[in-house]
Structure 1
């Protein structure tokens, strides 16, 4: 839009020079032709056709000297094309320079100076706008990177808090087991010994009640400790630790997508099967890649562990495979082992 306004202003100055001519039709024709050439040049900017149009309009100055009055507009287009020398053919007007009036020459010279000043101002303004736009894009990119980094830091902090919480739960469970559990066990043994050596029938019933109370407390403590321990198991973290032991031999891809409310016994089953599968891969596979996928579905969990080693058969009755089968069966699940020349796959499903 700025370029169009500038061209209208330059054209207005050029028309002042054109209509100083004695003829009425020639200035109109030159104005129309110049406007058409200038519009076509702007439409074809950056192409060879635009250069040809500017140079062709300049050449007309030699045949029709009045076109010299439109040189400022041609110069403006040539400057935008970064090829100011395209208007050099306009010097052919010198062959018929005497056909122009002094006023026309002076106005054209003034319009040429105005054209150069306007171009420098507008081009400088556009460069400034371009720099500001680039700066804005860079700032937006930096802000986006900063936002992503803050998100990663927040996620890392959440993971640290989660791991710290799990460690604290594990410590509490261990403290309860080591201290309160042992004390209750000793109390149960002492109450049992008192019942055996007691000769007073009146004390038998209170002693039996005391033993029953201690036994219930022991059961409650044991369940609480197991719940705390199960909650303190981070399935992904434990599996990643197991993977780190085989990273030197295999490239392992882990895809674990489960919620945080998975039962502890299911976590232990998954961990046991993954560890056993990784151990078997290290011992028997000649591949270099392992894929582990753990998925949660509405009614069951799935585990798939696959390596790319060449295995066409398996040994029936192997201790490792039997242990994995027993783990799945204990939870009512199913597990299959599929050997093939492309690799060995373990697939397990466990109902919720």
Structure 2
């Protein structure tokens, strides 16, 4: 904008100097031109300040003392228009008493320059308003695009969560179907084959019956492992923890920070869930605090769990069945668990190797 304004002022200055060239003097036009250029530059530098208005008004008043300065009035008018105070050039009417010192052609050229100045200002100011509107529109569109991108991301995440939950439900359904149908039929077949072995009197049939029983045993083991794998994979650790938190007394403010991969083993998930449920239950029953923090982390070599409340606790009764159950769960996975008491609260720390 400043560059466009500078170019326009150069064009207006050229028109003003053309009217000055009609003067009979040489020194006075040069001095007045330098004074007008200096004042205009200062007014542009101080745009929006009171000093700029004072400079423009003072230069306009100079027309009364130096009638030839009227030739530079278009330049001062341009600055006044940018200040939104066109009336700052009104003191130039003082020149009317000495209008005879200015040539008619100079007056015509001054009027023409004033008209061109107004036209240039209207064009440039209109262009500036258009650019401002376009900039605001661009910023608004950019903001809308960011909001749309964030909304699309949230929708995609919600859709992924729904697909994940649907997958887990389907795995659970398949595991139940296998357990309830195929598992029961294999169990019945195993019992029948065992009964046949007991009542069989024909030695020639014993080996085929034992082979059949062995095959059924292998099939049952394979089915059982598959069901357990499906069940373990279908456990959404974070979802189960959040469900457990939702049942906690409303007097507690519970925060959860869970950062683990989906590849966590099912037995580790069950251990974590058991410890967290027992820890939340103990906090509700015994803690005098109002805040509970749960952090579950996965590291390259081990999994980590920290559960802490801000209730005061002076001692731990290791004889409690709840603490024993937590310790048994963790030690079964060759992990370590510690219980820490302090005036600031009670902390459970669990570390399970991969």
Q: Which residue of 2 aligns with 1:102?
A: 104
RMSD between aligned residues: 1.4
Unpaired segments of 5 or more residues in structure 1?
Answer: none
How big is each residue's C-alpha offset from its partner over 1:31-83, in whole Å with a ceiling of 9 and x where there is no partner?
Answer: 12111211222122223332232222222212211111111110111111222
Q: Which residue of 2 aligns with 1:24?
A: 26
How big is each residue's C-alpha offset from its partner over 1:185-209, in whole Å with a ceiling of 9 and x where there is no partner?
Answer: 1111111111111122222221111
How big is each residue's C-alpha offset from its partner over 1:116-150, in whole Å with a ceiling of 9 and x where there is no partner?
Answer: 22111211110111001100111111111111111
How big is each residue's C-alpha offset from its partner over 1:258-303, in whole Å with a ceiling of 9 and x where there is no partner?
Answer: 1110000000011111111111111112222211111110000001
Q: Which residue of 2 aligns with 1:348?
A: 350
Q: 2:284 aligns with which of 282, 285, 290?
A: 282
Q: C-alpha distance in 2, partners of 1:158/1:322?
A: 39
Q: C-alpha distance in 2, partners of 1:111/1:296?
A: 78
Q: C-alpha distance in 2, partners of 1:233/1:6?
A: 73
Q: Which moved more, 1:82-91 or 1:15-24?
A: 82-91
Q: C-alpha distance in 2, partners of 1:246/1:93?
A: 89
3-state SS in 2 of match to 1:290: strand
Q: C-alpha distance in 2, partners of 1:274/1:114?
A: 82
Matched residue count: 352
Q: Which residue of 1 aligns with 2:137?
A: 135
Q: C-alpha distance in 2, partners of 1:214/1:317?
A: 45
1:241 matches 2:243: yes
3-state SS in 1 of match to 2:180: helix
Q: Which residue of 1 aligns with 2:40?
A: 38
Structure 1 residue ranges (4+ consecutive) displaced by more than 4 angstroms after TM superposition: none
Q: C-alpha distance in 2, partners of 1:339/1:78?
A: 76
How big is each residue's C-alpha offset from its partner over 1:211-232, in whole Å with a ceiling of 9 and x where there is no partner?
Answer: 1111111111000000010000
Q: C-alpha distance in 2, partners of 1:67/1:254?
A: 78
3-state SS in 2 of match to 1:52: helix
After TM superposition, the structure 1 = structure 2 runs for residues 173-184 of structure 1, keeping only pairs within 5 Å, are: 173-184=175-186
Q: Which residue of 1 aligns with 2:166?
A: 164
Q: C-alpha distance in 1, partners of 2:165/2:18?
A: 83
3-state SS in 2 of match to 1:259: coil
Unpaired segments of 5 or more residues in structure 2?
Answer: none
Q: Which moved more, 1:108-117 or 1:63-72?
A: 108-117
Q: 2:67 aligns with which of 61, 65, 68?
A: 65
Q: C-alpha distance in 1, partners of 2:290/2:86?
A: 65
Q: Which residue of 2 aligns with 1:147?
A: 149
Q: Which residue of 1 aligns with 2:307?
A: 305
Q: Which moved more, 1:268-277 or 1:14-23?
A: 14-23
Q: Which residue of 2 aligns with 1:54?
A: 56
Instruction: Tell me the TM-score normalised to structure 2 length.
Output: 0.96
Q: Which moved more, 1:175-184 or 1:85-94?
A: 85-94
Deviation at 1:153, TM superposition (A): 0.7
Q: C-alpha distance in 2, partners of 1:147/1:298?
A: 34
3-state SS in 2 of match to 1:261: coil
Q: C-alpha distance in 2, partners of 1:254/1:91?
A: 78
Q: C-alpha distance in 2, partners of 1:89/1:320?
A: 94
3-state SS in 2 of match to 1:20: coil
Q: C-alpha distance in 2, partners of 1:305/1:152?
A: 29
Deviation at 1:170, TM superposition (A): 0.8
